[in-house]
């Protein structure tokens, strides 16, 4: 397909159960839409039949462009690979392959895009996950909003329609620890939210473990907030202030009031634990920044593409 107007990008990892449902709905969307649409599917090192199903589809239907990564790079890098490969001349729509993000919202998103919005991001009105995950997401988005130096929209994930010029800028951003929804906000231009009710997973299980969610949250906080590093200065200043006050208190108590000052093991132990904990906490925060600098300085490619199928042919 030459020069499609819209590219739909969907990363897939072990999604053989959801794959037939995803393709059925994408086909229905493309058949009904007056727009010229291509679908870019990214296999993020799947261990089930996902790559095999993608291959059979792309060789028979030229509307599908399939990218096969060399290993599992993670959701954010797989999305980055898809955005880099997308050829949509007007905009790129980013969705998840589990159909929690309904592709049919393209019509509504595109209407808002034509009204002059470079980014139309989906805002989750209601989530279908368990209580712990819902509460965690709710608190994280509000924490990040309160400490970030940019105004990242609340309850908004990667699901969005993004103009070609915004995608081109994001593709040029070389950061290794990627938090795409923050990068999308940082780019700027006119952006608007669209509320929707997120569906349940159509089949299979979520591929985002709590460990991966924490890693994503860390990338959001340390990439788009100065708060953690400034917190060290504030904590250090507070600790020094308390230490000075405690010292002055003991001087007054001994030399002005003539009272005995407690000495010995408890006070020493408290001091060691308190300042030792402060030092370890500070080193941990500094370490998060150093770790990101370390990986970024290596200059490795963000992802490695093993093979591609475009227009029904291997590349």
User: Which one has a higher pLDDT value, 43 or 289?
Assistant: 43
Q: Which residue from 76, 63, 72 is spatially nearest to 8, judged by alpha carbons?
A: 63
Report the chain's mean pLDDT, rounded to a whole number: 81
165-170 average pLDDT score: 94
Pairwise CA distance, residues 72 & 287, whole Å: 25
Give the predicted TM-score (pTM) of the model: 0.76
Nearest-angstrom CA–CA distance, 274 and 281 = 11
Could you report the per-residue pLDDT of 171-203, keeping only the tens digit for each? 998 888 888 888 888 888 999 988 887 776 666
Domain 6-206+302-314, CATH number (from 3.90.550.10, 1.10.10.10, 3.30.1360.120, 3.40.30.10) = 3.90.550.10
Q: What is the mean pLDDT of residues 22-29?
A: 94
Between 232 and 114, the higher pLDDT residue: 114
User: What is the structure's pLDDT at 63?
Assistant: 93
- The answer on pLDDT for 224 being more than 80 is no
* Top mean-pLDDT range of 103-112, 216-225, 262-271, 277-286: 103-112
Give the tokens for residue 197.
């009710």
Q: Is the pLDDT of residue 161 over 90?
A: yes
The listed range with the strongest mean pLDDT (27-36, 222-231, 266-275) is 27-36
Residues 170, 171, 175, CA angle at the centre, nearest 5°? 75
| Per-residue buried b or exposed e for 155-185, using 16+ beta carbons within 10 Å of the residue's own CB | bbbbbbbbbbebbebbeeeeebbbbbbbbbb
pLDDT for the residue 164:
94
Query: In percent, how much of the chain has pLDDT > 70?
Result: 79
pLDDT of 211 > 70? The answer is no
- Per-residue pLDDT tens over the stretch 55-68: 999 999 999 999 99
Residue 146 neighbours by CB under 8 Å, 6+ apart: none
Q: Where are the domains of the chain?
A: 6-206+302-314, 227-297
- The mean-pLDDT minimum among 241-250, 260-269, 285-294 falls in 260-269
pLDDT at 141: 65
Lowest-pLDDT range, 121-125, 127-131, 134-138? 127-131
**Structure confidence at residue 163 (pLDDT):** 95
Lowest-confidence region among 98-102, 115-119, 176-180, 275-279: 275-279
**Is the pLDDT score of 128 beyond 70?**
no
* d(C-alpha 56, C-alpha 206), whole Å: 25
Instruction: Please report the pLDDT score of residue 207 as a whole number.
Output: 54
Q: What pLDDT is recorded for position 137?
A: 66
Average pLDDT score over residue span 283-297? 78
pLDDT of residue 266: 58
Does residue 105 carry a pLDDT above 70?
Answer: yes
User: Distance (Å, rounded) from C-alpha 256 to C-alpha 253?
Assistant: 6
What whole-number distance in Å separates Cα of residue 26 and Cα of residue 213?
Answer: 27
Q: Write out pLDDT tens, residues 235-248.
A: 777 777 776 777 77
Does residue 119 have a pLDDT over 60? Answer: yes
pLDDT of residue 59: 92
């Amino acid at each position: 397909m030459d020069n499609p107007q819209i590219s739909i990008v969907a990363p897939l990892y072990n999604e053989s159960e959801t794959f037939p449902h995803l393709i059925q709905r994408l086909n229905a969307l493309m058949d009904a839409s007056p727009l010229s649409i291509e679908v870019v599917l990214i296999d993020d090192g799947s261990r089930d039949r996902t790559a095999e199903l993608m291959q059979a589809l792309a060789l028979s239907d030229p509307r599908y462009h399939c990218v096969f990564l060399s290993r599992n790079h993670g959701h954010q890098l797989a999305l980055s690979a898809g955005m880099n490969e997308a050829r949509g001349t007007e905009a790129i729509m980013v969705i998840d392959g589990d159909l929690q993000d309904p592709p049919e919202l393209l019509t509504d998103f595109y209407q808002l895009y034509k009204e002059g919005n470079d980014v139309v991001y989906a805002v989750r009105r209601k989530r279908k996950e368990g209580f712990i995950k819902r509460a965690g997401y709710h608190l994280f988005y509000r924490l990040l909003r309160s400490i970030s130096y940019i105004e990242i929209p609340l309850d908004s994930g990667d699901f969005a329609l993004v103009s070609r010029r915004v995608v081109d800028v994001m593709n040029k951003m070389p950061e290794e620890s990627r938090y795409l929804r923050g990068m999308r906000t940082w780019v700027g231009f006119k952006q608007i939210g669209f509320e929707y009710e997120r569906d349940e997973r159509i089949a299979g299980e979520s591929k985002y473990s709590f460990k991966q969610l924490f890693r994503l949250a860390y990338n959001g906080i340390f990439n788009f907030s100065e708060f953690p590093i400034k917190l060290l200065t504030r904590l250090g200043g507070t600790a020094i202030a308390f230490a000075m006050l405690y010292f002055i208190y003991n001087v007054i108590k001994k030399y002005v009031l003539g009272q005995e000052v407690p000495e010995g093991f408890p006070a020493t132990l408290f001091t060691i634990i308190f300042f030792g904990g402060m030092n370890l906490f500070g080193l941990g925060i500094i370490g998060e920044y150093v770790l990101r600098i370390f990986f970024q300085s290596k200059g490795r490619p963000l992802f490695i593409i093993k093979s591609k199928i475009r227009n029904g042919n291997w590349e």
